[in-house]
Every structure is written in structure tokens, then in C-alpha cells.
């Protein structure tokens, strides 16, 4: 047993101790302690937006994405089946809603993402002209 004289109150951070205890309990339960808020699942794919990779569960192929590609795909995957307004995307990632160069840059990133799913008829990134983009997953 450790006496209080050895450990000062400044040396023990209660929040840090609590976080360590929760992590240990999660490991004991067999659950992961990492934050999975950047994980999106759609079709046979798993996107890890924080690590910027796309995993095909069927083939096992892991594709590394740029940070911007991962962020765009995450936004579309979180709203799959819904149209995400183009101005919203531009404002979120380029801090503008009406800039020619940012708009063309968005088009280039979407083209790259479409190429990832070119051989998969179940996944499509659809442009709703004058409105925005939508990730469509056909099961």
C-alpha cells in the first residue's frame, strides 16, 4: 500500500486516473477504447476519416485517401441517400460558398472519389444539378 506522503495531491490527476480506469474496463470487456467518430460504414466499405483510408471488407483492399477526400467522403457517408448542398460543402471545406476555383477543386475531389467506386455498381456519388451531391448505396 502506498502512503499519502509518497504521492502528493498534485501528482494525481483525478480526470486522468478516471480515463485510465475506463480504458482498462473497456479492454477487459473486449471493447475498443479508441474514438470511432470518424468511422463510417456503407455498402461493403469502411471509411476511417481520421486515418484517411477506405477499406473494402469484401476484397480486403485498403486505399489511402487524402485528408480532403476522407473528409468529403465522410460528410457524404454520414448523409448517405440525402443531398448535401454544394454551398454547404464549399463553406465547410473551403470557407467560401461562391468561388470558382474552390468549386472546381470540389469537382476534382469528387471525380477522384467516383473513380474509387467505378467498379462497384452498388455505390454512386450522384450530382443533383444546381443543388448538391449525394452518396447512393444500393444493396
User: What are the extents of the domains in the chain?
Assistant: 66-137
Strand-pairing partners, residue 124, are 136
Determine the pLDDT at residue 94: 94
SS3 assignment, position 11: coil
Cβ atoms of residues 68 and 126 within 8 Å:
no
What's the CA gap between 74 and 92, in Å, rounded?
13
Give Cα 111 to chain centroid, integer Å.
Answer: 19
| pLDDT for position 37 | 74
66-137: CATH class: mainly alpha
Each residue's pLDDT expressed in tens, for the chain with a length of 139 residues: 444 544 444 556 666 666 666 666 666 665 444 445 789 999 999 999 999 999 999 999 999 999 999 999 999 999 999 999 999 999 999 998 778 999 999 999 999 999 999 999 999 999 999 899 999 999 7
Amino acid at each position: 500500500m502506498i502512503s499519502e506522503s509518497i504521492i502528493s495531491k498534485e501528482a494525481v490527476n483525478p480526470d486522468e486516473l478516471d480515463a485510465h480506469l475506463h480504458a482498462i474496463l473497456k479492454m477487459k470487456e473486449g471493447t475498443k477504447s479508441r474514438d470511432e467518430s470518424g468511422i463510417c460504414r456503407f455498402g461493403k466499405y469502411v471509411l476511417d476519416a481520421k486515418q484517411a483510408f477506405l477499406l473494402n471488407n469484401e476484397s480486403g483492399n485498403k486505399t489511402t485517401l487524402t485528408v480532403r477526400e476522407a473528409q468529403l467522403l465522410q460528410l457524404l457517408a454520414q448523409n448517405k441517400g440525402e443531398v448535401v448542398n454544394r454551398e454547404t460543402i464549399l463553406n465547410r471545406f473551403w470557407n467560401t460558398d461562391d468561388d470558382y476555383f474552390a468549386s472546381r477543386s470540389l469537382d476534382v475531389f469528387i471525380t477522384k472519389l467516383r473513380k474509387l467506386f467505378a467498379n462497384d455498381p452498388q455505390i454512386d456519388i450522384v450530382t443533383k444539378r444546381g443543388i448538391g451531391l449525394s452518396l447512393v448505396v444500393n444493396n
